[in-house]
Amino acid sequence: MKNLTSRETQGVLVENRLDGPGKPGFAFRNPSSAIFYDWHAHSCHQITYARRGTTQIEGPDGHHLLPTAHAIWIPAGTRHRTMIRDLDGVSVYFDPAYFPHNQTDHIQTFPITTMLQEMLLHTVRWQPGSAEHDPIARSFFQTVGLLCMEQIQTKTTRLFTLPRAAHPSIVRAMEAALASPGQANLNLALRHAGMSERSFRRHFHEETGMTWQDWIVQARLFHAANLLAEGQRVTDVAAGVGYASLSAFAKAFTNLMGMSPVRFRNLQT
C-alpha cells in the first residue's frame, strides 16, 4: 500500500481541482491501487460509490467502512483520511451552493439503488470545470444529490461505523485493539487503559454508545472485510480476526454486511 504524506495528499487535491468549489459538481474514477491518503478536507461535498473493493475512511467521529455496493457521504469541510484497497468505483463532488440544504453533517455509509449506481457512474462525463455552464449537468447533479439524500436519510441498522473516543485511556485501548484486532481482548484493553474493568466498561459506553464487546466484534469484522477484499481465503480470515468457529464468523459477518463472507469475497473479483 502506498502511504501518502500530508503534502502529497494536498498535491492530489490540487491535481484533481479539489481546492475549489467545482460548480455544480464533477467526478472521477477512483484509483484501483491500494493508497492511504493522509488527513485532509475540501470545500466540496463528496459521495464515493464502491462497485467493487473495500475502503475505510477515518473521520472526526470514528472509522467508517465502505463495502461493495454502498456509497459514503462526506460533508464539505470534514477532515478525514482514506484507505483504498483495490476500489472500483467513482467519487462525485458537489458544490454546496448547488446541493440540497437538508444534508446530514456527519460521515455516513448508505446503500444505493441500481438506478443510483448507474447515475453516479454517469457523472464521470463531467470533469472539473466542464459542468458550470451546462444546464443538463446542473439538473443532473441536483437530481443525484436529492436521490442520495433520500437514501442517506432512510433509517438503517447497518451504519458501518466504528466510533472513536476522546478519553485518553479509552483511546489507548482502542489504538492497541485496532493494531491487532484478532488478538485483542478485554484484559489487554484494561492493561492499555490502566483502568479497572468497571471504570473501563462505564467510560467506554459513555464515549461510544457501545459495549466493549460489540465494538471489538465490529472492529474485527471491519478488518475481515479488508482481508476478504484482498482475496484471502474465508477460513484464513476467520482465524486471523480471532474466530475459532467458521460458522460463528460467517454469522457475525453476514449480520453486519448483509451478505456471507464468501459472497462478499466473490464480489471483489
pLDDT digits (tens, 9 = 90+) for 49-72: 988 877 899 999 999 999 888 899
Cα–Cα distances in angstroms (integers) from residue 85 to residues 13, 82, 192, 242, 258, in the given order? 19, 10, 30, 22, 20
User: Residue 163: which pLDDT band, with cuts at 50, 70 and 90?
Assistant: very high
Write down which residue in 102, 129, 152 finishes a domain: 152
Give the chain's domain count: 2
Q: Determine how β-strand 161-163 pairs with β-strand 80-94.
A: unpaired
CATH of residue 225: 1.10.10.60
- 169 & 130 share domain: no
Write down which residue in 126, 152, 178 finishes a domain: 152
User: How far is it, in rounded angstroms, from Cα 41 to Cα 62?
Assistant: 16
- For residue 159, being part of any structural domain is answered with no
- For residue 32, being part of any structural domain is answered with yes
User: How far is it, in rounded angstroms, from Cα 77 to Cα 200?
Assistant: 33
Residue 8 dihedral angles phi and psi, to the nearest 5°:
-65, -40
- 34 & 140 share domain: yes
Query: What does the pLDDT read at residue 32?
Result: 67
What are the pLDDT digits (tens) for 166-215? 999 999 999 999 999 999 999 999 999 999 999 999 999 999 999 999 99
- For residue 115, being part of any structural domain is answered with yes
The lowest-confidence range among 73-77, 117-121, 130-134 is: 130-134
Query: What does the pLDDT read at residue 157?
Result: 55
- For residue 160, being part of any structural domain is answered with no
Write down which residue in 123, 152, 181 finishes a domain: 152
Query: What does the pLDDT read at residue 153?
Result: 83
- 15 & 147 share domain: yes
What are the pLDDT digits (tens) for 129-162? 788 888 999 899 999 999 999 998 876 555 689 9
- For residue 235, being part of any structural domain is answered with yes
- 16 & 145 share domain: yes
- 100 & 219 share domain: no
Share above pLDDT 70 across residues of the chain, in percent, rounded to a whole number:
96
Structural domain harbouring 176? 165-268
Better-scored residue on pLDDT, 31 or 167: 167
- 200 & 89 share domain: no
Average pLDDT over residues 242-269: 89
User: Residue 261: which pLDDT band, with cuts at 50, 70 and 90?
Assistant: very high
- 147 & 191 share domain: no
Q: What is the pTM of this model?
A: 0.86
Residue with cell 471491519: 222
- 30 & 127 share domain: yes
CATH of residue 97: 2.60.120.10
User: How far is it, in rounded angstroms, from Cα 181 to Cα 217?
Assistant: 9
- For residue 43, being part of any structural domain is answered with yes
Q: Is-contact 54 256, C-beta < 8 A?
A: no
- For residue 157, being part of any structural domain is answered with no
- 121 & 174 share domain: no
- 94 & 52 share domain: yes
- For residue 56, being part of any structural domain is answered with yes
- 215 & 135 share domain: no
- 87 & 11 share domain: yes
